[in-house]
């Protein structure tokens, strides 16, 4: 464990803090802490920063309600920067987005790959913009009943493929089901973070249950 006094604050008494979502590992924001705000963060278990523009302490979510609960704080090898992993409540950015980092400056096509988070962003964009000729747009325009019908159909297809022990077909149908479930999530305002949090709670409960069984 590193002591606060071992950290290297700059000439203004500040140290940069890179805030990361503990579930998605996505960078949420970069802020600054001084010794006082870091001590408050550690004591309260919630992020507290130093505002360079207002020259005062500010607790994240104090006015917006978008609190960040601290999981861990890690110093880099030079002790002059911090990574703060958090469980966040609501958007991290004051603009209402999940992360402050959402505007691409450059994308190298050679390294672009699929991600579930990227798919969710695409679905959210389709719901908002509704481009013509898109199957996703068609689902959103038809509404909840149509989306639920497709989820039910894809569930059946997964069962049929799995029962036939056709691995390739099962993978294909699970991908279809996943897509339609994510469309449903988008329609009802359910985020990937909501699901991650729910799964994390179940993991903790399962861990405790296993411990109880082992001690009997």
pLDDT tens column, 117-157: 889 989 999 999 999 999 999 999 999 999 999 999 999 99
Q: What is the pTM of this model?
A: 0.65
**Residue 29's CB: how many other CB atoms inside 10 A?**
21
Length of the chain: 216
pLDDT (average), residues 175-179: 98
pLDDT, position 56:
96
Whole-number average pLDDT of the chain? 91
Query: What CATH fold (topology level) applies to the domain 2-86?
Result: Ubiquitin-like (UB roll) (3.10.20)
Domain with CATH 1.10.287.1080 in the chain: 114-202
pLDDT, position 208:
52
List % helix, strand, coil for the chain (3-state, nearest 5).
Answer: 50, 20, 35
Q: Is residue 48 a contact partner of residue 28, using CB atoms and an 8 Å limit?
A: no
pLDDT, position 205:
52
Q: How confident is the model at residue 206 (pLDDT cuts 50, 70, 90)?
A: low
The DSSP line for 82-115 is EEEEEEESS-SSTTS-S-S----S---GGG----
Choose which CATH entry (3.40.50.300, 3.30.9.10, 1.10.10.10, 1.10.287.1080) describes domain 114-202: 1.10.287.1080
pLDDT, position 60:
95
pLDDT, position 114:
81
Report the SS3 class of residue 47: coil
48-75 pLDDT, tens digit each = 999 999 999 999 999 899 999 999 999 9
């Amino acid at each position: 464990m590193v002591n606060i006094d071992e950290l290297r604050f700059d000439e203004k008494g500040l140290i940069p803090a890179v805030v990361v979502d503990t579930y998605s590992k996505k960078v949420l924001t970069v802020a600054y802490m001084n010794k006082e705000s870091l001590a408050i963060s550690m004591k309260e278990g919630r992020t507290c920063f130093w505002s360079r523009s207002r020259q005062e302490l500010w607790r994240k979510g104090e006015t917006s309600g978008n609190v960040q609960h601290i999981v861990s704080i890690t110093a880099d090898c030079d002790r002059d920067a911090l990574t703060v992993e958090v469980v966040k409540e609501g958007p991290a950015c004051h603009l209402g987005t999940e992360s402050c980092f959402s505007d691409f400056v450059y994308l190298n096509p050679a390294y672009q790959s699929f991600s579930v988070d990227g798919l969710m962003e695409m679905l959210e964009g389709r719901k908002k913009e509704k481009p013509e000729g898109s199957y996703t747009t068609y689902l959103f325009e038809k509404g909840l009943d149509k989306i639920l019908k497709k989820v039910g159909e894809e569930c059946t297809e997964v069962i049929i493929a799995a029962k036939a022990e056709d691995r390739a077909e099962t993978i294909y149908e699970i991908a279809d089901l996943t897509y339609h479930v994510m469309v449903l999530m988008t329609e009802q305002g359910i985020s990937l973070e909501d699901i991650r949090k729910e799964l994390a709670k179940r993991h903790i409960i399962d861990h405790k249950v296993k411990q109880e069984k082992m001690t009997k």
